[in-house]
Amino acid sequence: MATNQELGARGEELAVRHLEDIGLEVIERNWRHRSGELDIIARDGDTVVFVEVKTRSGIGYGTPAEAVTYTKQTRIRGLALRWLSLQQGPWVQIRFDVIAIVVGRHDDPVITHVRSAF
The domain defined by 4-114 carries CATH number 3.30.565.10: no
Backbone angles phi, psi at 81, to 5 degrees: -60, -40
Q: What is the DSSP string of 35-70?
A: TEEEEEEEEETTEEEEEEEEEES-SBTB-GGGGS-H
The pLDDT tens digits along the chain (118 residues) read: 578 899 999 999 999 999 999 999 999 999 999 999 999 999 999 999 999 999 999 888 899 999 999 999 999 999 999 999 999 877 789 999 999 999 987 779 999 999 999 9
Report the candidate in 47, 10, 9 with the shortest Cα–Cα distance to residue 27: 47
- The model carries a pTM of 0.93
Please give the DSSP secondary-structure letter assigned to residue 13. Answer: H
Domain boundaries, the chain: 4-114
C-alpha 88/C-alpha 61 separation (Å) is 41
